[in-house]
Amino acid sequence: MTTLSAGENTPNGEDLAGQRGLEEWLPRRLAAIGPAVTVVGDAMLDGWWSGTIERLCREAPAPVVDIGQRSFAPGGAANTAVNLAALGAKVRLVGVVGCDRAGAELLRQLEEAGVDTAYVCRVPDLTTTTKTRISSGGQLLLRFDESAGRIPTAALAASAVSLPEVLQNQDAVVICDYGAGFLSGPVKSTLVTALAGRPASLLAVVDAHDPRSWAALRPDLATPNAKEAAELLGLKLSASAGRPAVVVEHRQELLRATGAAAVVVTLDREGAILLPASGDVHRTWAKPVAEKQASGAGDTFVAALTLGRAASLPLTTSVDLAQAAADIVVRRPGTSVCSTDDLGQHLASFADTALDAGELARRIGRHRAAGQRIVLTNGCFDVLHRGHTRYLNQAKQLGDILVVALNSDDSVRALKGRDRPINTVTDRAAVVGALSCVDYVTVFDTPTPVPLIEQLRPEIYAKGGDYSPEMLTEARAVERYGGTVAILDYVADVSTTAVVKRIRHGGGAVPVEST
């Protein structure tokens, strides 16, 4: 597996962002590493046709759409491949297309995107799988699909024969099985055999409608969406029934069903849940939008997740990166791609996220009027580590909107000494604001956050478990207006002071979980 060069991983594996500035460094560095990734699976062409409706047809009360625009984009495994290429990976695609216009268009776009198509089998008389969506006025009206039906045995056999060679010297393989028929018979059996004794440096990711069929592969990651996870569990997952909690409750069943070392369940508007075989559960929060015509965000998520892990980023960091990439494409109509520049600009947008107290109070007022509960926490958050990320994820789950108040640089110096903070408040705000669980960041320069608490009046005030309510002067301020003080888990032996000490004294990394 390709790794970050010496000195670029942080001491505890979790505070990469805090060391260099995630928003300006990480996407470019991943692209420079350029892991080699093979995508194997069901390649498709997505069509997006739009037009106007001014009449109904005479034969039935059905609208007539006068098509004004046609566009096409790689879909399915092909979409995963172009997203990986756009993020800087060196990508090969293994699949089949027909010798038809759709197949030619798909290959053209793949090659234009920098994807190696030498192992895409061109099959005469085969219909390239195409999914065409018809819309008008921003409203999706209809989708019609064309598919190959049964893929010739000779085409599957030819692809299977090439797999052992294709997988040589790769950092990752992504299996995209959408039930279109390519990943069956000889292709599947050859893949399982070739990857059964794979080296630890070769990451195996399964993105399948039915991950159970790949459990024998023992993949490193399986990435079911909410519907697929529900089918694995034999449950109905309703968005109104607390899907994240249900997924976490059934962690072991999902791990057993997929055979994976870790499962990442994507929950569209509710973000994603990382369920590792060992270590803490990790959640991301999506930035939902009203766009109803976006497609393929799951492919983008898998691509960014794979890229991060193939470059040896911690699993939690890779999941956060994947969520950021998905948040980008879900804001765009059609099937789109997240590039290195897109990701860098998106993360850089958090650099100026710190709001003054007045503007923050106005925004909180709107959230409260909508019935949302406000959670406030505060701290230095100087060199971000896994204790911070675990704590902030727990704080988010106490309410709807999480506000993080950062000590100013002068305040940190007063608390920690003249050699702190390591990172300026601008950098600290950018890193904390980039976490999917954080909604707002502000800065306070008073000895305690009591003035801010009295101005914002959060329903819940959260602090880490190394504090007690009796120790917090701010607890009395919260209780005066009827708020609640929540004391969260404390991660023993993990602190910014300890991290800085290891850096300065050359202690090196300490063993951590893979998450």
Q: For residue 242, what are its two tokens? A: 């607390």
Q: Up-side HSE of residue 440: CA atoms within 13 Å toward CB?
A: 23
CB 165 within 8 Å of CB 173: no
Instruction: Determine whether 50 is exposed, middle or buried from the number of CB atoms within 10 Å of its CB (0-12, 13-18, 19+).
Output: buried
Going by C-alpha positions, the residue among 501, 449, 445, 506 that lies closest to residue 477 is 449
Q: For residue 497, what are its two tokens? A: 């002071």
Could you give the CA distance from residue 443 to residue 195 in angstroms, rounded to a whole number? 50
3-state secondary structure 230-267: HHHHCCCCCHHHCHHHHHHHCHHHHHHHHCCCEEEEEC
- Cα torsion 440, 441, 445, 449 to 10°: value is 50
Q: Which residue has the tokens 């003080």?
A: 485
Could you give the CA distance from residue 246 to residue 228 in angstroms, rounded to a whole number? 14
Q: Which residue has the tokens 């109509």?
A: 333
Residue 401, SS3 per DSSP: strand
Q: For residue 445, what are its two tokens? A: 């320069």
**Does the active-site annotation cover 177?**
no
Q: Which of 207, 220, 299, 327 is catalytic?
A: 299
Instruction: Determine whether 274 is exposed, middle or buried from the number of CB atoms within 10 Å of its CB (0-12, 13-18, 19+).
Output: buried
Going by C-alpha positions, the residue among 408, 392, 404 that lies closest to residue 447 is 408
What does the DSSP assignment read for 404-473?
EEEEPHHHHHHHH-TT--SS-HHHHHHHHHTSTT--EEEEE-SSSSHHHHHHH--SEEEE-TTS-GGG-H
Q: Which residue has the tokens 């193939």?
A: 310
Q: For residue 161, what are its two tokens? A: 């024969």
For 415, phi then psi, to 5°, come to: -85, -40
Q: For residue 50, what are its two tokens? A: 């739009």
Could you give the CA distance from residue 95 to residue 118 in angstroms, rounded to a whole number? 10
Could you give the CA distance from residue 328 to residue 346 in angstroms, rounded to a whole number? 7
In this structure, the number of other CB atoms found within 10 A of the CB of residue 422 comes to 18
Q: Up-side HSE of residue 356: CA atoms within 13 Å toward CB?
A: 2
Element (H, E) at 141: strand 139-146
Residues serving a catalytic function are 299
